[in-house]
Chains A and B, each alone.
Chain A
Amino acid sequence: MPELPELNPVIHGKLRLALLSLLSGVEEAEFTWLRAKTASTDGNLGAQLLKLEEAGYVAVEKKFVQRKPQTLYRMTEKGRAALTDYVGALRQLLGSAI
C-alpha cells in the first residue's frame, strides 16, 4: 500500500477534514454550528479554521446581526477542489479494500 504522505496534510487532520466536509454540504455556516457539529473547543476549532483559511480552503465573513457578532465560514472553490482530490486519493489508496 502507498504511504500516507501522498495525502494533502492540510485536509488530512481529522477536525479539518470534518470541517471541510460539513462546509461542502452547506452554503455557509456559523462558528457556533460548526462547534456543535464537531464537539470541539473554541480554541481548537478557531486554530483549525485558521489553517484552512490560510490554505485558501475557507473564506471568513464577520458581521453583526442584531448587535451580536457572527462569524460565517464558506468553502472556497479551491477548498472544494482540494477535498475532491483528497477523496480521489483516498479511494485510490484503498483500492479494492472499499
Chain B
Amino acid sequence: MTDQKIEQELKDRLSLIETMIAEGRRSTESWGWAFVFWGVAYYIAIAWSSGGFGGPTWSRNYLAWPVTMISGFVLTWIMSARKRSKQPPTTIGRAITSIWAGMGISTFIIMFSLGYSGRMDLHIAIAMVGAMLGTANITSSIILKWKMQFVSGLVWLAAGAVSCFLTENQAGILFLVAIFFCQIVFGILGMIADARERKTSGTAQDVSHA
C-alpha cells in the first residue's frame, strides 16, 4: 500500500469516528416540538383562566392552570417516553431532562401554593415563571452549546424582571409576547433545524466491512 493510500485510510478512520460520535449524540437535540407544545399550553391556560372560552365547563377558572399544566406534564412524558424507546440514553440527554423536570415540578409546587394561599399576584407569577424558564433555558443552552436557546433564556429573564415595573395589563401583554417568541417561534426554529440536520446527516452509514 502506498503512503498516500495509507494516509487516506487513516483520515477515513478519523472521519468515521467523528461521524459516529455525532450520530450517537444527535438524539438529544430534537426538542423543538416541546417548546411549541408548552407555548400552546400556556396560551390555553391563560385564555381559560381569563374566561376566554365561555360555557359551563370552562367557567371553573381556578382549574385552568393546574389542569393544563398537569395535562402538559403527562403528554410531554408520554411523547418523550416514545422518543426514548427509539433512542439510546445519553448523559447529556439525562442532564437536560433533569433540568426541565426539576424546573417544571418546582414551578408547579410554588404556583400551586401561591394560588391556594390566595397570595397569587400576576407580577409575582410572571417574574417567577420568567426566572425559572430563563434559568432552565440558559443552563440547557450552555450544555448543548445552543446560542439561540441562550438568547431565549435571556429574553425570559428580562421579561420576568421588567414585568415587576409594569402595570398588570402591561405585564400580561409582555408575558404573551415572551411566550410567542421564546416558545412558539423558538420551538418552530428548533424543529426546522432538527429537520435540516436529519436531512443532511442522512441515514445509516455502511460500515459493515470489518
Contact = CB atoms under 8 A, between A and B. Distances in A.
The interface size bin for chain A is 35 or more
B209 A24 contact: no
Interface in B52-107: 86-91, 94
B24 to A, nearest CB: 3
Contact of A15 (B6, B7, B11, B207): B207
Nearest to B9: A4
A83 B21 CA distance: 12
Interface in B1-58: 3, 6-7, 10-11, 13-14, 16-17, 19-25, 27
A25 B207 contact: no
B204 A22 contact: no
Given A30-B88, A38-B204, A14 B14 contact: no
Interface string A3-41: 010000000111111100111111111100100111111
A83 B10 CA distance: 14
Contacts of A14: 13, 16, 207, 209-210
Interface in A58-86: 83
B205 interface: yes
Contacts, number: 106
A25 B13 contact: no
Contacts of A94: 7, 10-11, 14
A22 B20 contact: yes
B42 to A, nearest CB: 32
A23 B24 contact: yes
Q: Is the interface of A mostly helix, strand, loop or mixed?
A: helix
B88 A36 contact: no
Nearest to A27: B89
B46 to A, nearest CB: 39
B207 A27 contact: no
For B17, B25, B27, B209, the residue with the greatest tally of chain A CB atoms inside 10 Å of its CB is B17
B14 to A, nearest CB: 6
Contacts of A18: 16, 20, 205, 207
B13 A29 contact: no
A23 B204 CA distance: 15
10 contacts: A1-B6, A4-B6, A14-B209, A14-B210, A15-B208, A21-B21, A22-B24, A25-B23, A27-B90, A29-B88
Interface of A: 1, 4, 12-18, 21-30, 33, 36-41, 44-45, 47-48, 83, 87, 90-91, 93-94, 97-98
Given A14-B209, A26-B88, A87-B14, 7 more contacts: A21-B20, A21-B24, A25-B22, A26-B24, A39-B206, A45-B208, A90-B14
